[in-house]
Amino acid sequence: MSSVLVAREGHLAVLTVNRPDKLNALDNDTIRALHRAVDELSADAGVGVIVLTGAGEKAFVAGADISVLAKQGVLEGRANSVLGQRLMQALEDSPKPTIAAVNGFALGGGLELALACDLRFAAAGAKLGLPEVSLGILPGYGGTQRLPRLVGMGMALQLILTGDPIPAEEALRIGLVNGVFPLAELMEGVRKVAARIVSRGPTALALAKEAARRGAALGLAEGLALESDLFGLASSTAEMKEGMQAFLEKRKPGWLRT
């Protein structure tokens, strides 16, 4: 049985971590399978949005596989961290908008997976946290870097240093997730958001994501220069001409997706 399932629903691609007996914990094979799937979907012109979720109703991803981490030494620990970070970076760098549908526990590597996505929606009752310090380690898949950038250093350090999980409603309050749905309505809610995104220009989406993601690591002047460069690039596309013409003609644009 595959540890990662890929389903296509029109221009929506759903990636499901499929290890429900392990609460969808990330072992190295699953990380590699996710990375391959993200790369393939990112290169597919027919994909508009990538959604990540977990199998079953208990967990999104309950963390890294402790049976793997318990055996690591210095070199193995660094290699495991780099392996996970490369997956998260592939998600962040994907030209496709990505959404995490957090249907249960998102702990450790699971929260780090969600943090690498562009948007996060959680089921009511879901728990999110970085409990690594309770195991004598620290977050190693990007959590110490992405969480402070998202919710601020003070709140991020509280979550990282206590290791305590927070409920979905608190995650919404601090800006860790974009919305909370009843579990039975989570995927439908995410599909509606994805449909809104897919209705927009695909090249514009990729360039807007690049401007925001890359610009966040730059000073304001450099970020504005990047935005202007990408704005100019967008202005050279047939997609821009179609979008503008459709607006003037009061019709829906016909975006080119194969």
Calpha distance 137→145 (Å, rounded)? 15
pTM listed for this prediction: 0.94
Coil/strand/helix, residue 126:
coil
Residue 163 included in any domain: yes
Residue 258 included in any domain: no
pLDDT value at residue 202: 92
Query: Cβ(133)–Cβ(112) under 8 Å?
Result: no
Residues 139 and 72 in one domain: yes
Q: Which residues pair with 14 in a beta bridge?
A: 7, 51
Number of other CB atoms surrounding residue 31 within 10 Å: 26
Query: Cβ(139)–Cβ(130) under 8 Å?
Result: yes
Q: Which range (74-78, 153-157, 206-210) has the least confidence?
A: 74-78
Residue 228 included in any domain: yes
- What is the span of the domain harbouring residue 242? 202-248
Residue 253 included in any domain: no
Residues 15 and 121 in one domain: yes
| pLDDT for residue 94 is more than 80 | yes
| pLDDT for residue 4 is more than 60 | yes
Calpha distance 96→54 (Å, rounded)? 20
pLDDT-based confidence at 257, cuts 50/70/90? low
| pLDDT for residue 182 is more than 60 | yes
Residues 46 and 154 in one domain: yes
Residues 51 and 73 in one domain: yes
pLDDT value at residue 138: 95
Q: What is the DSSP letter of 243?
A: H
| pLDDT for residue 258 is more than 60 | no
| pLDDT for residue 55 is more than 80 | yes
Residues 49 and 111 in one domain: yes
pLDDT-based confidence at 72, cuts 50/70/90? confident
Residues 194 and 206 in one domain: no
Averaged pLDDT score across all residues of the chain: 95
Q: Which two tokens stand for residue 138?
A: 């620290």
Residues 171 and 227 in one domain: no
Q: Phi first, then psi: give them for residue 87, nearest 5 degrees.
A: -65, -50
Q: Which residues are catalytic?
A: 112, 132
Number of domains in the chain: 2
Q: Which residues pair with 53 in a beta bridge?
A: 16
Residues 121 and 228 in one domain: no
- Which stretches does DSSP call E strand in 55-174? 59-61, 98-102, 105-107, 119-123, 127-129, 166-167
pLDDT-based confidence at 171, cuts 50/70/90? very high
**What CATH number corresponds to the domain at position 13?**
3.90.226.10
Residues 166 and 217 in one domain: no
